[in-house]
Structure 1
């Protein structure tokens, strides 16, 4: 770290120590969307309870702080098409309507993913894998139906999610096994057909890992070589205090930007809890037994750990601001600590504190550390 950066980090740390345990009055804070309005969009993933009006306090926070939203679950295939040919758009319609009413950049998540897919998708009536032609037709119908419904209203789509494996280049999902590697190409092709004006993204986790970074670059290059449009890449950014390598993160931002695509942090959170295994992965199927050693802050978060979280966010945003010309959007995966998925993944029943706002929707030290970078 150079001298200037060290001094800047020290200033932020001193500020945080002065703040102590006290939380600032939110009404006096400049909203995140205003702080970063000349830099990049800033937003959050919203759940159906929020956009259906059941969590008004969180909705008020979203309206105040953010200028972009993404659907947490209501636009995944199992939610939109639980039965073949039977679509349920109620929650998705409410999500889009909320974004429109508040002038937000709306992102649909996600069209093609191996997880949270309906039971019928990959099999025939006898329970056997369907043919390639059948699965391609099902993919095309789903993408065309969904994207066409929101044409001109949803501004961007996570077209394919988590196609890269933790070991192999492409995950051996049912999409890949039945259709082949070109299922990614077909998904982007169908999305472009349905709405040529919507931005189309590839989204994946652990994209600061060198193997996954290079695989992501291969996905981008493969699409472009075939003349298929891809507008951006989403780095999911599910990080932790013990596994956030800022050098690798910056390397990924730079290398992805060199592919002439927008770079985005799409599912940002930083857990303060220990990961159950030495091999960190954001694969959603992981599920570990709840133990006291894995849930050390069940009552409250120690002030010292809150300071560590603030410093981690500060370092991350220093990199983002350094490369703001390459960053299109920063989206947190959730609105406040209480509704973050990190409370139940990969260990159900934990109490985590991974976002900028606490369970009462008040800004934390992490919020202060982020906005202070621009205020300076």
Structure 2
């Protein structure tokens, strides 16, 4: 019996077990079987998805219904990033973010804010004056503080956790050379967390990055968080972006990072989870959105559909990942997919436009793939 069959007929099974009727042990077991991802993982960690504009505006009814049914935490794909919400000085575009936050409130979801400080999708104006010259340290700090106070302050008590700083590290463990670092210096990390704490003292505050399974980057992130902790700065968790491939990273490397961050006394979150099945034009193992390529022959192999053999590999990969997450459920507070269904995935257009990707648990028709059943089984044990 499939999970979705159980969803449809569970009420009938319950009715049959009342009144003059009695239930067999198999019928009782069917009724007790979890019927959604969030129910299967209840008591272990939140299960979430990243929402796009159409979903928060209610324009994708099937997707909205799926989100409400399966998930209990949400993240915004773009509507809370600095560029989209603060495109010009003293100009804010709050409507999409308001709808996103309202969706979380209406559906009693653990709502994530993504992200307050990031080198990408930052508006050009924030780093320059009216003449186009690079601003000084004090000016940029003031602009950062104003942005965080305005945005995090607006959603005080409504957004439960913020990705305060996103992707501040290179894969080799060095600090990423960004305008934030160039103008302010390394202190920008501390200041971002301080400003976020001032704007909403009750919200959880996170550092979020990709490829944190790589030893050098793992060690650098541990150092970053320790450094902030030693200065008395609140850091509640580390978000390990789960932009994984079908054959990388190893479970051992992921597990080593889960343990390393948990040892800091902070929550560990698997964020932005997806599994890329498509050939890689650069042998990249991360999520640097600046790395793009022109379409090339041979890099869109599943344009007509996913072969069963590859579907089976995806199923096994997700089973392995969630068996690991379930094992460390005492350390992991949240697992969030980067998208709802395959049709929404950013991997359809990155690092090449027009590719047909299959990285999530639900297909383009919002139907559960075999990997869904594998995840349900892994977290229900």
Global fold match (TM > 0.5): yes
Look up the match of 2:18. Answer: none
2-structure distance, mates of 1:374, 1:244: 21
Match of 1:311 among 316, 319, 327: 316
2-structure distance, mates of 1:24, 1:277: 39
Deviations 1:206-227 (A, max 9, x none): 0101111011101110110110
The answer (yes or no) to whether the contact 2:50–2:339 under 8 Å persists in 1 is: yes
Mean Cα deviation higher: 322-331 or 236-245: 236-245
Shift in alpha-carbon separation, 1:274–1:26, aligned structure 2, 3 A: farther
Look up the match of 2:186. Answer: 181
The answer (yes or no) to whether the contact 1:205–1:282 under 8 Å persists in 2 is: yes
Q: Which consecutive residues of structure 1, in runs of 5 or more, have no partner in the other structure?
A: 1-18
Shift of 1:279: 3.7
1-structure distance, mates of 2:309, 2:5: 21
Runs of 4+ in 1 over 6 A off after TM superposition: none
Shift of 1:281: 2.6
Shift of 1:166: 2.6
Partner SS state of residue 143, structure 2: helix
**How does 1:68-217 map onto structure 2 within 5 Å?**
68-217=73-222
What TM-score do you get using the length of structure 1 for normalisation?
Answer: 0.92
The answer (yes or no) to whether the contact 2:3–2:373 under 8 Å persists in 1 is: no
The answer (yes or no) to whether the contact 1:23–1:365 under 8 Å persists in 2 is: no
State the aligned residue count. 356
Shift of 1:231: 0.1
Shift of 1:147: 0.7
Deviations 1:232-284 (A, max 9, x none): 00001100113221110000001110000000011000011111112423111
Shift of 1:348: 1.0
Q: Using CA pairs below 8 Å that are at least 6 residues apart, which structure has the higher relative contact order?
A: 1
Structure with max Cα Rg: 2
The answer (yes or no) to whether the contact 1:39–1:325 under 8 Å persists in 2 is: yes
Alignment of 1:280 with 2:280, yes or no, is no
1-structure distance, mates of 2:297, 2:370: 26
Mean Cα deviation higher: 25-34 or 273-282: 25-34
Alignment of 1:37 with 2:42, yes or no, is yes
Match of 1:237 among 239, 242, 261: 242
2-structure distance, mates of 1:374, 1:118: 41
1-structure distance, mates of 2:292, 2:267: 33
The answer (yes or no) to whether the contact 1:26–1:363 under 8 Å persists in 2 is: no
The answer (yes or no) to whether the contact 2:275–2:359 under 8 Å persists in 1 is: yes
Partner SS state of residue 94, structure 1: helix
1-structure distance, mates of 2:268, 2:171: 21
Deviations 1:20-76 (A, max 9, x none): xx9965845711000000110000000111101111110000000000001110000
- Calculate the aligned-residue CA RMSD, in Å: 1.5
